[in-house]
Amino acid sequence: MTTIPLRVMVLDPCALQRSCTANRLRQIGNIELVEAAHGRHALDVLTRTGKADIVLCEEQMEGMDVLAFLRQAAQGRLLNSLIIQGSPPPEMLRSIRQLVALLGLRLLGHIDKPVLLHQLQGLMHMYHHSHVLAREAQIIVPLANETDVRAALAAGEFHAYYQPKFNLNTFEMCGVEVLARWQHPQQGLLSPAVFMPILERCELLDDLLLMQMQQALALEQQMRTTGVALSLAFNLHASQLASSALSLQVKALLTHYQVPPSSVTFELTESGMLDVSANSLECLLRLRMMGCNLSIDDFGAGYSSLQRLCDLPFNEIKLDAQFAYAVTQDLRSRVVISTIQKLGTSLGMAVVIEGIETQEQCRLLQSLGCLIGQGYVFSRAISETQLIKWFDEKVSN
């Protein structure tokens, strides 16, 4: 099947540079090229001929600067994504990325001049990948109703799925994050977006967690008989910590399935830990005292407080996916990642980075000292059957 070509505009005042960049794009193939010499020319061309998927331009342009061009192009819905040619200072690149996002566009990154083929190929691949994810995100999924969700819980229609975590040095799987999927009898496999808001509103998150733990701990018990130690991470909402029964239920399940508590991690989002009550802190302490691990999830996504790392009994930091995305583009992000990795090591805390989508991101994170990663470059969330098959194939090879 022939795919629709990407429509790429090369915006450069230098005819020789435009020609060079255009030739590199032709080498990639399946690209419809348009060219412009300056911002006003680019707007006129796009208005007449149609929207561009990607525009390559410098941050400094004669006449209409890049900021004015982007604002007017966004208002006219004339482009999707931007690639900056040249090497703007890191703080400027970060601010341009924020502005581009506010305009509803995407900054794919920046590229050297003269343009190198492998850099262009990487950015084209990133566009294709991000475009697929954006289309998936735009699909409006109607929420289930409370009656159906309660019935699904009772019928055992919710299933544990597993997002692998990998050692970035050996590329061995070193654990999984346990996620929930709804196997609907008529609609097929449904994502958490359909049911999680209902579960939270109806205070059914504990029911879901216990179901996930029963399935995942049974799997861990089964895998252990084959010599595989499987580390499991479960998501906890801050509201669940108010329950004095939660730690007792967790302990009972670990005892029943004979799973060592050190194999289990509970991930809590940083934003949910802004106000910690006595009951919540007691629950966290009980989980740690029984030997479970606690991870502060999405670290760096909100208003991070280092004080939380000192006051609360977390022993793992899980860096937000925005850092993996920015690692190839932003020096400041690389410095922050490296600093947090060193901070975690100094505090005796493991550091996990999620949202890794490309091999380049993986290599850079590895060079910054990151040891554990998670993301689509390794695997999406998979079923129990797929996970067992993965380990079976590994043993057979």
Regarding beta strands 79-85 and 52-58, do their DSSP bridges make them parallel or antiparallel, or are they unpaired?
parallel
Tokens of 103: 């305009």
C-alpha gyration radius of the chain? 24
Whether 58 is catalytic is no
343 to each of 28, 324, 350, 360, 361, how far by Cα in Å?
42, 18, 10, 24, 21
Q: In what order do the strands lie in the sheet with 106-111?
A: 31-36, 6-11, 52-58, 79-85, 106-111
| Distance separating alpha carbons of residues 386 and 164, to the nearest angstrom | 11
Packing angle of the helix pair 205-224, 146-155 (nearest 10 deg): 30
Query: Closest Cα partner for 45 from 17, 7, 19?
Result: 7
Asked if 378 contacts 209 with a C-beta cutoff of 8 angstroms, the reply is no
Asked if 43 contacts 65 with a C-beta cutoff of 8 angstroms, the reply is no
Kindly report the backbone phi and psi dihedral angles of residue 157, in degrees, each rounded to the nearest multiple of 5, phi listed first.
-85, -10
Q: Which of 177, 220, 270, 354 is catalytic?
A: 354
| DSSP 8-class letter at 308 | H
| Distance separating alpha carbons of residues 177 and 164, to the nearest angstrom | 6
Helix (H, G, I), strand (E, B) or coil at 264: strand
The catalytic site residues sit at 354
